[in-house]
Structure formats: C-alpha cells, structure tokens
A and B are shown apart, each in its own frame.
Chain A
Amino acid sequence: MIKNKSKAYWRENIRYLCILLVVWFLVSFVAGIMLKDVLNDFKLGGFKLGFWFAQQGSMYVFVILIFIYVRLMNKLDKKYGYYK
C-alpha cells in the first residue's frame, strides 16, 4: 500500500518534469537557437524575436518554470501526505 502510494507520487512527479522540461527545451534550444533565423523575421519592439528569446525570453521562462514546479510539487506533497 505504502509502496503503491510512493510509486504513484513518483509517476506524477515524472509527468510534471517531462512537461516542464519540454518547455525548457522549446524556449532555449528551439526558439533561441534552432528556429532563431525564422523567428528573427518577426520583431518584438526593437528586438528580433529569435535574438530576444536567446538573450532575454528564455531566461524569464526558466524562472517561471521553477516557480510553477515549486507550486505543483507543494500541491502534490499535500495530496500524498508528504507535506509538512
């Protein structure tokens, strides 16, 4: 029973990790590097968009990702009684 509980907790944790890491990969490696030239045709104020992702946007998203993870995990810990 306890074993099942910890397994279920771990599965949900892994699911969160995968989703958040996909976003992590998209904003940096995809938007900031691989698709940079395509995105550079669009502008955000004085920034070319790909350049902006590489030097600004990706970092903002990184911070948000960690705080989302903190929230998700605190909720998950409560759900499984691991929060104290």
Chain B
Amino acid sequence: MVITNNILLVEVLSVQSWTYILVGITFTLYIGIAIWARAGSTKEFYVAGGGVSPLANGMATAADWMSAASFISMAGIISFAGYDGSVYLMGWTGGYVLLALLLAPYLRKFGKFTVPDFIGDRYYSNTARLVGVICALLVSFTYVAGQMRGVGLVFSRFLEVDINTGVIIGMLIVLFYAVLGGMKGITYTQVAQYCILIFAFMVPAIFISIQMTGNPIPQLGFGSELADGSGTFLLDKLDDLSTDLGFAEYTEGTKSLVDVFAITLALMVGTAGLPHVIVRFFTVKRVKDARKSAGIALLLIVILYSTAPAVAAFARTNMIETLSNQPYATVPEWFRKWETTGLITFVDKNNDGLIQYVADKNQNELVVDNDIMVLANPEIAELPNWVIALVAAGALAAALSTAAGLLLVISASVSHDLIKKIVNPKISEKNELVAARLSSVVAVCVAGYFGINPPGFVAATVALAFGLAAASFFPAIILGIFYKRMNKEGAIAGMIVGIVAMLYYMLKYKLGWFDDVLPSKSHWWFGISPEGFGSVAMLLNFIVSITIMKFTPEPPKNVQDIVEQIRIPSGAGEATH
C-alpha cells in the first residue's frame, strides 16, 4: 500500500515540486559540508591544509572546471555548430595533458598558495607579482559573471522566481560556504557537486540514447543506427536533415582549418593557465599526487565531455523532427514555457502557421538559444519530471562549484598576494584570514552584480578569459620551469605584451571599439578569430620573453637553485608562505 502511494507520488509531483525538493536537498548538503569543513588557518583557507587525497582533488577539480558553460551551454553550442563545436571538446580537455605534464607537478613542488605567488617568487619581483594579480583578477571576474547568470537562468525557468532573486539565492549559498570554509569547504562541496552534476548529466543522456538508438551508452549510441528500424546511422540522418534545411553538414562544419586550429590551441593553453584550476593542485600532499589527480580529474571530466557531443546530436535531431514544418498551434508545452523566458522565439514571417526552421536568415522563423538544449532536452524527449528537475539541480551544482573556485582565487589574490606580499608583509595570520574572508564577500557581491546586470559582452569575455590566461600565465610558468635562464625582465615584458595584444584584438574584432562598424572576418589577422587569438598572443609572449631575456642579466643564483629544486619531486614540503 505504502509502495503504491509512493509510486503515485512520483507520478503526481510536478517538475516544479521536484525541483524544489532536489535543489533543497543539494543546498542543505552544501551548507552541511561547509559547517563541517570550516577553515581555521590561512593554510586551510588557501589550500585546504594541503592534505587532500588525489581522488577527492580529482573530483573537486572536475567540478571546479565544469561550469555552467560546460553543463548548460556546451552541448547546445555543439548542437548548432556540429563539427565546429569540436574546438571546445578538444580544447577544454587537451589542456589537462599540458597541465599534468608541464605545470601541475612542478607548481606543487614549488609549494605556494597562489599562481601570482609563483610568478612573484620565480621572477624575484613584486612587479611580476602585481602583473600576475591583475591577470588573475581579470580572468576570474570575467568568468564568474557567467556562472551567476547561469544560476539565475536555472532559478527563473525551473522555480519560476525572478532571475535576480535566483542570483541572490545563489550568492548567499556560495558566500556561506566559500567564506566559512575557504578552500577546505570548497573542496568537499565540490566533491559532492561533481557527483550531483555528473549524475544529472548522464541520466537524461542515457534515457535519450536508448530512445533514439536503443544503445544505453551515449558515446556509442551517437555512432549507431536509429531505433526506428530504418537502418540509417544517426549522424547520416542528421547530415541529411541539416543539408535539407540549408545548413552545412553536421559532421563537416564551416570554420576555416586555421581558425579551428587556433581556437583549439588557445583553449588548451588557456585551460592550463587558468589560476582556479592550477591552484587545485596546491592542495594535494605530494608531487606524484598532483600528477595522479590531474589524470583522475580529466577522466571524470571526459565522462561528461564525451557524452556532450552525443547529447548535442540527439537534441538536434529531436528538435528538427519535433518542430520543423510543424504547425505552431500544436507545439508541445515545453516550447511555450521556454518562449516566456525569451530563449525560444518564433515569428511567423509567411503567415502559414507552420514553423520554418532553415539556414536562410530571411526565411527562418525560429530562434533557439544555445543554452536551452541541455535544459529542455529531457522535456523534448518527454522524460519523467524528476529527471527534468535533476538537470536543474545539476546545472546549479556546476555553476556554484565553479563560482566558488573562482571566488577563492579572487580573495587569495587580494588578501595573500596584494595585502600580505605587497602592501603589508607584517600582517598577522589571523588578520590575513579576516582579509581573505572580507575579500571573498566583496568578490561575491561584485559577481552577483554582474549576474543581475550582465554586461553585454559576457559571451565575448569568456573567450577573453581563456585568451588572457593563454597570453599571460602559460608562457610565464612554462618558461619559469623549463628555462632556468629566464629572468624577470623577459617574463614581465612577455606577459604585458601578451595581455595587451589579446585585449587589443578582442576589443577591435569582437567588440568593434576602434572602428565605426565591427570589422568583418576578412580583416582578421591570418584568418584567426578573436576566440583563437590567444594562440597568437601566447606566441608573442614567448618571442618577446626570450628576446628581452637575451639582452638582460641572468637571474640570481638562488632563483636558479629554486628552478633546480622544483624539477625534482622529492622533498616537496607542505605549502608555506
């Protein structure tokens, strides 16, 4: 009897009730973990005490890394871009190979708290440290604004609260566990968030894969025949549907080869240079743990990343078949719900009452935002309500975990690198901890402000964040480890030239600041888009650094000894000031 009641309950509960339940449970969990893992010292606040196991760190890194963009937007972008979307898949995973092989072990051996710490000590200069702080803040703030927007989006659609209220709720939660727990609290909430987000991503993907191809593994279903008995491969069908509507073949894409190459490289190198990812490797005990946890992190990330293109292909096929040339009067319920958020728009240009979805912009009547492909996918596939709600909880986990990691980088850059290392070196540990907490409060408020009043250039700035990381940190760190002769003059000049070049190109070709109209593609240097320019800016950094170095004195003996030291794994002390 009880069981029957439960089954009834499962069927009766609306998507909204399910969302309240699942979001409520997960948020309580995060708060509970935060109280359990309070930080008592700066070392706990910055690097979780330095004793995190490789598995926990791998999970935390994966959650830290996979943001609202990975969870919500990526499959949607691939869905509309087809092959061109591969740049994100290869770019955002290939970066971990660089991270594991070229950066993480040595930075862990170096054993400090932050990335500007490394830059400042290795290049024996507070100017270098300051340039590092500025880069870290630029990169992290641009990134965190997007996370807050993601939180607001999920709240507004699934809980039908105002976007601003959603952002404020998200802010309060992050504030609570980031301020209280610092890196320690963040690490263990991220472990929980990884479990939630991966479950939430995989369940609908598996359902839809079975529906469409009969194969429960999306990575295989993606390359299988359709379940409708036609004997056609899903991807062949999708290529046909796309070309029928005037789009490029799904598996071919439209971007030039050189641009795909440049964007992929910029994203890889940018990933390896992102301070909130690098700092996670300061939290493990030994150098070998840093290597191992990079491997675990990538494995856990690839579970989602290899599923995303499958989801993209399923969703695209489903969407075209459900909507193309169908009467607007009979569209499913989810269509109307998403219309109210403005993420789907339909204008019946030829007044025939049918939805024309075609490549030709003058005839196309349907505009679907990238972001809703993942969020609406379970509804399009008519999955049970709890699955739809689960996606909302997963999207929140993805956005909050990344936001928290970024906020920590921001607060550590201010309290440790700026206050402790530059402004007031005599500050006591207790006061530094207070400063760290205060700066994370300020950072959350700024992030929330951007979430509520999203600057129009958010989309552009995410590419900018990767470009800046690629153009500044990556070369400076690589040269710092692999080139003993590299000195402060070279590194500082290289970072500044890299950042300025990146900013200039982005402002000119993405935002059109220096011209009356935005310059067209034909004006791009070497045919490289602003998204891919990070590769060029990185090369510029390397060239400038090495050239300037040749004409300036070599670094002092003690710095060269540090370089010798970080190359050897043993004797990695725990993180110190």
Q: Show the binding face of A for B, using Cβ within 8 Å.
A: 6, 9-10, 13, 17, 20-21, 24, 28-29, 32-34, 36, 40, 44-48, 51-52, 54-56, 58-60, 62-63, 65-67, 69-70, 73-74, 77, 81-84
Cβ-based interface call for B568 (8 A): yes
Q: How far is the CA of A58 from the CA of B94 in the complex (A)?
A: 8
A40-B224 in contact (CB<8A):
no
Given A62-B94, A66-B294, check contact A54 B86 (CB 8 Å).
yes
List B contacts of A58 (CB < 8 A): 89-90, 93-94
Given A6-B564, A48-B235, check contact A60 B306 (CB 8 Å).
yes
Q: How far is the CA of A55 from the CA of B88 in the complex (A)?
A: 9
11 A-B pairs with C-beta separation under 8 A: A33-B264, A44-B223, A46-B233, A47-B223, A51-B86, A55-B83, A63-B298, A66-B291, A69-B101, A70-B292, A70-B295
List B contacts of A36 (CB < 8 A): 83
Shortest 3 CB-CB contacts between residues of A and residues of B: A46-B233, A54-B86, A66-B295
Task: Taking A45-B224, A65-B101, A84-B286 as given, write out 6 further A-B residue pairs in contact, using a Cβ cutoff of 8 Å, ordered by the A residue number.
Answer: A6-B568, A29-B264, A52-B223, A59-B93, A62-B97, A73-B105
Q: How far is the CA of A36 from the CA of B252 in the complex (A)?
A: 9
Given A66-B96, A67-B295, check contact A83 B288 (CB 8 Å).
yes
B83-A54 in contact (CB<8A):
yes
A51-B83 in contact (CB<8A):
yes
Q: How far is the CA of A82 from the CA of B566 in the complex (A)?
A: 12
| Distance from B335 Cβ to chain A, minimum over Cβ atoms (Å) | 28
Q: How far is the CA of A58 from the CA of B92 in the complex (A)?
A: 12
Q: Which residue of A is nearest B295, CB measured?
A: A66
Q: How far is the CA of A69 from the CA of B251 in the complex (A)?
A: 32
List B contacts of A20 (CB < 8 A): 97, 101
Q: How far is the CA of A65 from the CA of B95 in the complex (A)?
A: 12
A28-B94 in contact (CB<8A):
yes
Residue among B97, B225, B305 facing the most chain A CB atoms (10 A cut-off): B97
| Distance from B286 Cβ to chain A, minimum over Cβ atoms (Å) | 8
B223-A73 in contact (CB<8A):
no
A77-B251 in contact (CB<8A):
no
| Distance from B413 Cβ to chain A, minimum over Cβ atoms (Å) | 28
Cβ-based interface call for B570 (8 A): yes
Cβ-based interface call for B349 (8 A): no
Chain B window 254-280, contacts with chain A (Cβ cutoff 8 Å), 1 for yes, 0 for no: 000100110011000000000000000
| Distance from A35 Cβ to chain B, minimum over Cβ atoms (Å) | 10
B567 partner, pick from A10, A21, A29, A32, beta carbons under 8 A: A10
Given A55-B309, A56-B219, A66-B97, check contact A82 B569 (CB 8 Å).
yes
